[in-house]
Amino acid sequence: MAFSCSCRRRNVEPLDLDRLFIDLRKEQLAQRGKMAKNTFNNLRKTIGLNGVVLYAEGDDVVYREAFGWRDLTRMNDSIRVDDQFQLASVSKMFTAEAVMLLHAQGKLDYDDALSKYLPEFPYPGITIRNLLTHRSGLSRYETLADEHWPDRTVPLSNEAMVGLYRQYHPEPYNQPDVTFHYSNINYALLANVVERVSGQPFEDFVREQVFEPIGMHRTYVYSLRGVASLKTFVDTEVQGHDLLKNGARRAQEDYLNGVMGDKMVYSTVDDLFKYANALDHRQLLPDSLQREAFLPGSPEWKRGENYGFGWRMHENHPGAVYHYGWWKGYRSFFVRDTTLHRTLIILTNTDNGALGEPLWDFIGDTTVKLPEACPNKNLQSVLDH
């Protein structure tokens, strides 16, 4: 016995998979944005966070906020989200990138001896790689200069710094490539190498080869080249401050500010996020070369921390590469979680900054996890099969 059905097939709207993904992502980004707002409003209340914060999930900026004052001694001019701050040691990632670009151009090898480029530097056996990974064993140039630089109203240059090592030959901490020992001298010397190899002033090479190609138009290397006598303060809108018991004090210009490579880049959170995206999308170097910046340079180091080319890493934060910075009234924090695809940038103009476990707790929180991006056409192809 046969049966027939006279009912018509109902028209069903096709499932828009892209729309579902976008709506879900939008909702979860909003939740992460609220979490960021609560976290950094709390840091403003508890430690006096004074600066700018940018937090991103993938390519999406979900939180961007400014707190406090440009000049804490007057408190009449609020910080703006596009203000420029001294990055301090976060500057090292740009020095490393400059060296990596020269390597990509075939102009130097990481295992070249430093003496190939600075034959007057009186310490044999140090390689470019040793400098990049803080394995040179050299002692601090700051201590050497404090002991022997005759006039602190005159800036110390990178070349003059090398001259101090030639003249006084301080004892190194270790022989080259024995152990990891973080020291600013390594990246200051790399700035000298960039100049010798490129034939350009360090600040010009970094601007032309790193900042300008990716649109970092509000970023520069602060230079005292040719300055005979220091001013009282750095000429910048956002002043650095030391927080003392009796209040904030503007950090004065310093003769060590004449040394570049280890510090002295000024930038904004937006420009730094452009840099993070440029690394993710390999705009400056191909992946085969860029990835070496994020590999531990001291595999035998057993104390939890390690260092690649201009980036720190720590066993307590797997998947994260980061750098802190502190110098003369500024603190900075730049972390990229490559597992969760998160970027957090904090620039402050006080010496207490906003560093510590609350930031790592926020970055690593997975109570709100975003869906993986998957274009409709690719997902539909999988469903069809």
pTM of this structure: 0.90
Distance CA 227, CA 231 (A): 10
| 17-384: CATH number | 3.40.710.10
pLDDT, residue 378, reads 41
pLDDT, residue 303, reads 75
Buried b or exposed e, range 252-284, using 16+ CB within 10 angstroms: ebbbbbbbbbbbbbbbbbbbbbbbbbbbeeeeb
pLDDT tens-digit map of 135-190 = 999 999 999 999 999 999 999 999 999 999 999 999 999 999 999 999 999 999 99
Instruction: Let me know: does 198 contact 205? Beta carbons within 8 Å.
Output: yes
Instruction: Let me know: does 185 contact 136? Beta carbons within 8 Å.
Output: yes
Q: Are strands 247-250 and 241-244 parallel, antiparallel or unpaired?
A: antiparallel
Work out the average pLDDT over 251-271: 98
Q: Where are the alpha helices (DSSP H) in the chain?
A: 17-47, 92-104, 128-132, 141-148, 158-168, 185-198, 202-206, 269-280, 287-290, 357-364, 376-384
Instruction: Let me know: does 353 contact 325? Beta carbons within 8 Å.
Output: no
Q: Which amino acid is at 317?
A: H
The domain locations on the chain are: 17-384
pLDDT, residue 105, reads 97
- Which is it for the CA torsion 256, 90, 97, 313, positive or negative? positive
CA separation, residue 268 to residues 139, 171, 275, 332 (Å): 32, 38, 11, 11
